[in-house]
Structure formats: structure tokens, C-alpha cells
Amino acid sequence: MTITITAFERSPDGGKGLARDTRVRWALEEAGLPYQVRLVSFADMKRPDHLAVHPFGQIPTYEEGSLSLFETGAIVLHIAERHPGLLPEDRESRARAITWMFAALNTVEPPILELANATIHERDMPWSAERLPLVKDRVRAPLNQLSARLGDAEWLDGTFSAGDLLMVSVLLRLRPSGILDEFRNLAAYVARGEARPAYRRAFAAQLAVNAPPVG
Amino acid sequence: MTITITAFERSPDGGKGLARDTRVRWALEEAGLPYQVRLVSFADMKRPDHLAVHPFGQIPTYEEGSLSLFETGAIVLHIAERHPGLLPEDRESRARAITWMFAALNTVEPPILELANATIHERDMPWSAERLPLVKDRVRAPLNQLSARLGDAEWLDGTFSAGDLLMVSVLLRLRPSGILDEFRNLAAYVARGEARPAYRRAFAAQLAVNAPPVG
């Protein structure tokens, strides 16, 4: 059955791979699944036909026959549950990998989203410079703990899983702030994720949309 | 097999049910599963034996034989996948219910966490009063869309699911701010969740720990 996802017609990051369709593309590439992409503009995302699929008016969405899903975490889990390569087969290892998916999205990402708000939407506010160190410390707190847990391991719990896919994707967003490089083992972990052939194909696919070659 | 969860020895909210063990207690009650609770202090949560189970040093955790999990979303999903009452049986409805779980935790909750930071940790900062309206608007944006999607429906997608359990639990946190009551249908939705016998048992159980009856 054909899989169709949505992505930005023009990503606000200009093709740095930070838009969330990259996470879904990566999962599809790890699972070896072909997919089609429907590009949407910011105006398209607020139209009733898109809101019917994604009530929050965002990308990505996932359509497969009569099934339509939104929320990156749910889409990645849906793919991971149905195809090998993203979740271990052992029952307990599988539950732990899913735990890391939620940890990425509900523990590590919220302070990173707050930092993005601070540096983008509140950049010109009078409190911006004074407040920023406090927001950055809020990001560092779970990273200290994540770094301690990861240690010198390659992935969070044995073999690469959808938990690593989401954690690497969340941590990636921190590179411009300099905070990722404060944690040597986390920076190396992210680099290992980015070096995977499936990630490279996903990154190239989103880049081709956002920064097509000249000529 | 015995299920043991952890909860605060003394919840910072004094028993209002906002600590995340309430979400897990609620899921266990919906599934009709007995459980034991191990109470932990803030000092306990930073000790190696607790960090071995929960790398971010938080509650709740979930232990069942040799399996130990953290992250509320993952625990609720683990319970929901194995026991009737929290996920529909139909494949597509089930995927959509899981989508609402992620929407609660990764779309609706992050700005609510940011609001909590603003009103608690940044309350005495010089920018606090001027910045608060901006943070509140950030909370309202997804709620406007959620309210439009829910309309007059009882639950988000047909029958009550783990998606509703997490969404109601996330929205509950907003009541003190007054923002929840700005959305008539969302306030009624939360009240429907709170009226469920399983929620009431979960709430009473956490209250008994935090505000034991005098005498």
C-alpha cells in the first residue's frame, strides 16, 4: 500500500533537516519502505482538508490506504511496530525502546522547544539576554542525566532502535546552541546517528526539496 | 505478576493529583490491575538504585518481574497494549488512539510545561509579569485547535482511550491558570475524565498518600 507523508514546501530551516518530516523519512528509510511526499505551504496547513488529517495544522502526516496519522512519535512507532529494524523482538527490550521514544519527546525535547522559543520568538524581547542562561540550564539538566546513562555505549539500550532515532533527532536541534558539544558522548552519539545510511538518505531527500541544486 | 510503581513520598502539589503517578494509577485502574506503590523522597530519586530504573531521577517508574520502565507515556502504553479498556481493537482506531497519546505529550504538554516554569521558577524574575501573557498565548494556540477538533464529541476518537487519559491528564494541569475554562468543551471533556470511576480511585489513592486523614 502506498505511503504518503507531508512535508514543508519550504522548510523554515532551509534544509538543515530539523523539520519533523526528517524523523519520519528516517524511520521509513530504516524500514526500507518506499514513500511519496506531498509538499504543503503554510497556507495549505491551515486549510480544512489538511486540518482533517492533522488537527494542529502541522507536518508531517502519514497516509496509508484508509489510515491517516499525525504526530511524529506515533508515526515512527506505527512504522516500527510493523517492520523490522526499529524495535527489538524481545518483549522487554521492545518496551524499553519505546520508553526511550517517550523520553526523547516528553522529557528531553520540551526544554529544547522552550530554548527555541527563547532564541527565535523572544529574541528581541527586553529580557532575552538575561533569561537565556536560565533556559539553557533547563536544557542541560536532562542532558547531564542522559549523558551519564549513555556512558560509552553506542546506543541507549543495545542495538539501534526507534528510541535512538527520536533521541538523536531531538538532540540534533541543539547543535547551533553549542550545548550539544558540551557533552562529548552525546555529540558522538548524534554523529553516529547521522552517519547511518538511512539517516543520510532521509537528510538528502529533505535537502533536495529545500535547497535544490542550481541549474 | 506484581506491579510496583513509584510515587512521591510528599508530592509538591500536596495531593492535587498533578504528579505523574496519577496518570499511571489511572491507567492501572482502567485496566483493573492491582498494584503496589513504593514511595520515594527527593533524596531517594537521586540515588544510584533509583537512577538505575529512572535515568532522569523522576517518578513514576513501573516494575513488573524483571521489566522496569520509566516515562509515563511508555508505561501507560505498555499497560494499554496488554489489557483491555485503553486501546480499541481495530488496527486503525488503535493507531489513532496512540496518536492522541503522543499529541498530548509532545504537542499540548510542552507549552504547559513552559507555563509552569514561568509561573513557578520564574515568578520572581523581573520579566515575569510582562512575559506571562506571551507564554499563555503559546498554551492557547494548540488548545484552540484541539477544541475545534473535539467539538461536542465525548472523547477524541470514539470510545475512551489511553489518548484521552493522557490528554485529560495534561489539560488538568491548566485549571489553576484559568485557561482551561476559556474552552467550554475542553473543560467539560476534562470533567468527564475526572468523573470516571477509575480516575476517582486513582485520585483518591494519591490523595491518601499526600493528605492522609487526620486522627
3-state secondary structure of B71: coil
Which chain A residues are closer than 8 Å to B125 by Cβ? 127, 131, 134
Contact flag B92-A57 (C-beta cutoff 8 Å): no
CATH of the domain at A76: 3.40.30.10
Contact flag A74-B101 (C-beta cutoff 8 Å): yes
Instruction: List the single residue in B with minimal CA-CA distance to A76.
Output: B99
Closest Cβ opposite residue A142 in set B56, B75, B110: B56
List A residues 20-39 in contact with B (Cβ-Cβ < 8 A): none
What distance in Å separates residue A37's CA from the closest CA in chain B? 20
Q: What are phi and psi of A36, to 5 degrees?
A: -110, 155
Nearest-10 crossing angle of helices A72-82, A91-102: 160
Q: Does A110 touch chain B (CB under 8 A)?
A: yes
Q: Is A158 exposed, middle or buried (0-12, 13-18, 19+ CB in 10 A)?
A: middle
Q: Does B128 touch chain A (CB under 8 A)?
A: no
As a whole number of angstroms, the distance between CA A99 and CA A26 comes to: 19
Residues A192 and A202 in one domain: no
Cα A190 to Cα A14, A42, A77, A180, B63: the distances in Å are: 20, 30, 20, 9, 30
Residue B114 falls inside a structural domain:
yes
Query: So what's the ipTM on this one?
Result: 0.96
Contact flag A69-B99 (C-beta cutoff 8 Å): yes
Which chain A residues are closer than 8 Å to B131 by Cβ? 122, 125, 127
Q: By the 8 A CB rule, do B59 and B20 touch? A: yes
Tell me, rounded to whole angstroms, the distance of Cα B19 from its chain centroid.
Answer: 7
As a whole number of angstroms, the distance between CA B50 and CA B178 comes to: 36
Tell me, rounded to whole angstroms, the distance of Cα A82 from its chain centroid.
Answer: 20
Q: What is the pLDDT of residue B95?
A: 97
Residues A108 and A79 in one domain: no
Residues A57 and A40 in one domain: yes
Residue B215 falls inside a structural domain:
no
For chain A, list residues with pLDDT below 70.
213-215
Q: What is the pLDDT of residue A8?
A: 96
Residue B164 falls inside a structural domain:
yes
Residues B168 and B185 in one domain: yes
CATH of the domain at B106: 1.20.1050.10
Residues A137 and A161 in one domain: yes
Q: What is the pLDDT of residue A211?
A: 82
Q: Is A187 exposed, middle or buried (0-12, 13-18, 19+ CB in 10 A)?
A: middle
As a whole number of angstroms, the distance between CA A18 and CA A12 comes to: 9
Residues B101 and B62 in one domain: no
As a whole number of angstroms, the distance between CA B183 and CA B161 comes to: 21
Cα A159 to Cα A46, A94, A97, A201, B66: the distances in Å are: 40, 11, 10, 20, 19
DSSP string across A1-27: --EEEEEESS-TTSSSS-STHHHHHHH
Q: What are phi and psi of B212, to 5 degrees?
A: -60, 145
Q: Does B122 touch chain A (CB under 8 A)?
A: yes
Q: What is the pLDDT of residue B34?
A: 98
In tens, the pLDDT along B187-203 reads 999 999 999 999 999 99
Which chain A residues are closer than 8 Å to B173 by Cβ? none
What distance in Å separates residue B213's CA from the closest CA in chain A? 34
* Domain count along chain A: 2
Provide the edge-to-edge strand list for the sheet that holds B3-8.
Answer: B36-40, B3-8, B61-64, B67-70
For chain B, list residues with pLDDT below 50.
none
Residues B202 and B191 in one domain: no
Residues B122 and B173 in one domain: yes
Contact flag B117-A126 (C-beta cutoff 8 Å): no
Cα B76 to Cα A110, B5, B27, B72: the distances in Å are: 19, 12, 6, 6
Residue B135 falls inside a structural domain:
yes
What distance in Å separates residue A109's CA from the closest CA in chain B? 8
Residues A53 and A76 in one domain: yes
Nearest-10 crossing angle of helices B21-30, B72-82: 10
What amino acid is encoded at A190 in this protein? V
Which residue range(s) make up the domain with A19? 3-85+198-210
Contact flag A110-B107 (C-beta cutoff 8 Å): no
Instruction: List the single residue in A with minimal CA-CA distance to B129.
Output: A127
Residue B64 falls inside a structural domain:
yes
Q: Does A171 touch chain B (CB under 8 A)?
A: no
The share of chain B scoring above pLDDT 90, in percent, equals 95
Residues B77 and B128 in one domain: no
Within 13 Å, how many C-alpha atoms sit on residue A206's CB side? 29
Instruction: List the single residue in B with minimal CA-CA distance to A78.
Output: B95
